[in-house]
């Protein structure tokens, strides 16, 4: 339907039309869909069934690239679904697709599914991540009651990359700006989490973003802060230097190793 540049590196794509007639939102506030973006010159039309294509035995290079994206919002009355894409330069498939998307373009996706919703029984909520987790964090903050306590730390490239968030008044939100020193930037989220003054009572945490950063924060939360696994939703959304294809091929082992180090 339309696109909107939210920040220099974040593009909102609003989908609509009769293709969304069957769409049902998921329970969680981190609902995600699997988008399928065909390569140039694909021998099938703009609208296709990704599962049928997978089973059709097409050469790998003709299959659509699969990427996972959060449903930033779903407006059933207007039949509009918004996805916020990080555009990280010219690299990748989905980022460039979103950067050049125009009204009338088609995006095929499967889903949604979800895994997290802030637990109303928790005394406070911790949300940590980068721009890729921002859509889920934003949707989660919107779902909190007005008297909830939330502590939010979000990594981004600088002040012009911050987006206004609708959150309970008691939200402690700090944007962490990258310095473009890779080693320092990779430690920003962990350092900020280490420095947190811990509110009293049980916490429910949402920790998503770059794989190594998430792994370090998770280790800190479990080992140093004494969180139970059941008190957090934690997953590595993407991995620095790897395409999503490369990342998916090692993700299972990475997650197993991540689990084993705090067994």
Ligand X SMILES: Cc1cc2nc3c(=O)[nH]c(=O)nc-3n(C[C@H](O)[C@H](O)[C@H](O)COP(=O)(O)OP(=O)(O)OC[C@H]3O[C@@H](n4cnc5c(N)ncnc54)[C@H](O)[C@@H]3O)c2cc1C
Q: Which residues bind ligand X (CB under 6 A)?
A: 32, 67-70, 84-86, 88, 91-95, 131-132, 135, 237-244
H-assigned helices in 88-243? 94-100, 134-143, 182-194, 211-219
- How near is the Cβ of 11 to ligand X at its closest, in Å? 9
CB 154 within 8 A of CB 217: no
| Nearest distance from C-beta of residue 58 to ligand X, angstroms | 20
| Closer of 74 and 85 to ligand X (Cβ) | 85
**Shortest CB 233 distance to ligand X, Å:** 11
Q: Which is nearer to ligand X, 7 or 149 (CB)?
A: 7
Nearest to 137 by CA among 163, 161, 113, 160: 163
Give the Cα separation of 162 and 155 in Å (integer): 9
Q: Is 198 helix (H, G, I), strand (E, B) or coil?
A: coil
Q: From CA 208, how far away is CA 187, in angstroms rounded?
A: 14
Q: Which residue's CB atom is positioned nearest to ligand X? A: 92
CB of 52 to ligand X, least distance (A): 23
Strand partners, 49: none
Closer CB to ligand X, residue 84 or residue 124?
84
> For residues 153 and 239, which CB has a smaller minimum distance to ligand X in the complex?
239
């Amino acid at each position: 339907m339309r696109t909107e540049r939210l920040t220099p590196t974040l593009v909102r794509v609003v989908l609509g039309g009769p293709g969304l007639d069957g769409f049902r939102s998921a329970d969680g506030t981190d609902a995600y869909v699997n988008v399928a973006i065909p390569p140039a010159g694909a021998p099938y039309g703009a609208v296709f069934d990704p599962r049928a294509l997978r089973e059709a035995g097409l050469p790998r290079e003709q299959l659509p690239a699969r990427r996972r994206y959060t449903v930033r919002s779903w407006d059933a009355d207007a039949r509009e679904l918004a996805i916020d894409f990080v555009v990280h330069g010219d690299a990748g498939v989905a980022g460039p697709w979103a950067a050049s998307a125009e009204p009338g373009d088609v995006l095929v996706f499967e889903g949604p599914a979800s895994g997290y919703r802030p637990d109303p029984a928790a005394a406070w909520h911790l949300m940590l991540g980068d721009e890729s987790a921002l859509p889920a964090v934003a949707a989660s903050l919107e779902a909190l009651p007005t008297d909830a306590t939330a502590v939010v730390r979000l990594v981004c490239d600088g002040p012009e990359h911050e987006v206004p968030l609708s959150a309970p008044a008691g939200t402690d939100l700090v944007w962490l700006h990258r310095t473009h020193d890779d080693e320092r930037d990779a430690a920003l989220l962990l350092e900020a989490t280490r420095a947190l003054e811990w509110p009293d009572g049980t916490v429910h945490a949402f920790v998503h973003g770059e794989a190594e950063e998430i792994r370090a924060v998770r280790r800190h939360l479990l080992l140093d802060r004494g969180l139970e696994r059941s008190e957090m939703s934690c997953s590595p959304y993407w991995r620095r230097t790897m395409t999503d294809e490369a990342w998916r091929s090692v993700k299972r082992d990475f997650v197993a190793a991540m689990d084993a180090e705090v067994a």
